[in-house]
A and B are shown apart, each in its own frame.
Chain A
Amino acid sequence: MSLVMDILTICAVSAGALFFLAGTVGLLRFPDTLTRLHALTKVDNLGLGLIVLGLLPQTSSVLFAVKLVFVWLLVQLSGAVVTQLIAGAVRHHGADG
């Protein structure tokens, strides 16, 4: 059982890390603010989500697992809001940033 869990962890965390890598490359290489935001949100959503998912089997208690999920949810919330704000700023002032 623990072997299955470990494999799940390794797969999910690796996939998450891959998304982080891709997102970072996107942040650096994409041409303008909006497309960069697009790359970033993928990191927040999927990358962190997969890492949290992968870590869940390794947790020792339910409380700890709940904390991990909370971390993901909070990042989701702040990420979504900040993306909205930046996108709004771009629309108002033009994409010079």
Chain B
Amino acid sequence: MSIASVFDVALVALILTIGASAILVRTAFAAVVMFVVYGLLLSMAWVRLHAVDVALTEAAIGGGMTGLLLLGAVARSRSVNVDSVRVGYPLRLAAGALCALVAAGLAVAIFYPPAPVPTLAPMVMENLPPSGLGNPVAGVLFVFRALDTLLEKVVLLLALLGVWSLAPDHAWGGTPGLQVYARPDPTLIFLAQLLPPVGIVFGIYMCWVGAKDPGGAFQGGTVLAAMWLLVIVAGLQKAPAIGRLWLRVLLVTGPVLFLAIGLAGWVFADAFLAYPAGYAKPLIVAVEAALTLSIAVALGMLAAGPPVRAQQQ
């Protein structure tokens, strides 16, 4: 066994242990902490699978942002006595058997790959040059399967509206309740003053570099969102009221630009979501930049939760 495979085996063992303990530990808080650790380990697995784009996304969104949400929820939720509502033993056994069956079925499916493994990688590389992009994943996201990416932005907006819809009627248009945690802690304020400039540069870099190397709108947007949340949590800036026009405009800027360029493709490149020859790269970079901003705002507001206070006029 080479060093790499020893590392892989150890990594898999660790992922499974931490993952299982995130399910099985008694308190919700411990479970969430386990989950955050798990997210980081998983992004290592993604690096090992030669999917750096996904590793970045997993670390930023899967581990980081989801962990933040879960931690916030645990901190706010009232403690629940777990034992009183525990599912019965026979049922757990049955569920365990079912889950083992599913896992075994998947394992069998994985174990016997088709004889020539089908791949679209050569086709992607063949068709990538006209777009001017160097990152094949970005190529798939913004050129070949642009419709999915566009729809997914709409999904994000709908989820945000769904989160907002859980506000009480009187708070509609008001500010999210993120300041609940804000303590005027000098250390935190120090961090919130020092880090965002670095983070913003880093987020923009991630978005920019995404055209040719791993990175892109999601990863960059997540970093920007994290910086924004840090500033809000430290109390340096208030979370914006959800009725603010600038907020709404920022939220839709990315999708609107994407859609507009897609429609322009109808006129100039004779297909919806096609890019005119020679203009593909600048158009995609423009879309990515706008999307980064919109994603940052959408993720930040998703993490901030529904509005709790009416806006003070």
Contacts and interface: CB of A to CB of B under 8 A. Distances in A.
A and B touch in the complex (CB under 8 A): yes
A85 B194 contact: no
Interface string B184-198: 010110110011001
A85 B188 CA distance: 7
A85 B198 contact: no
Contact of A88 (B187, B191, B195): B187
Q: Is the interface of B mostly helix, strand, loop or mixed?
A: helix
Contact of A84 (B187, B194, B198): B187
Contacts of B198: 74
A77 interface: yes
B216 to A, nearest CB: 18
Interface residues of B, number: 8
A82 to B, nearest CB: 9
Interface string A48-77: 000000000000000000000000001001
Interface in B178-230: 185, 187-188, 190-191, 194-195, 198
B194 A88 contact: no
A78 interface: yes
A81 interface: yes
A41 B66 CA distance: 25
B187 A77 contact: no
A78 B195 CA distance: 9
Interface of A: 74, 77-78, 81, 84-85, 88
16 contacts: A74-B198, A77-B191, A77-B194, A77-B195, A78-B191, A78-B195, A81-B187, A81-B188, A81-B190, A81-B191, A84-B187, A85-B185, A85-B187, A85-B188, A88-B185, A88-B187
Given A77-B194, A85-B185, A88-B185, 11 more contacts: A74-B198, A77-B191, A77-B195, A78-B191, A78-B195, A81-B187, A81-B190, A84-B187, A85-B187, A85-B188, A88-B187
Going nearest first, the 8 A-B pairs with the smallest beta carbon separation are: A84-B187, A81-B191, A81-B187, A85-B187, A85-B188, A85-B185, A88-B185, A77-B194
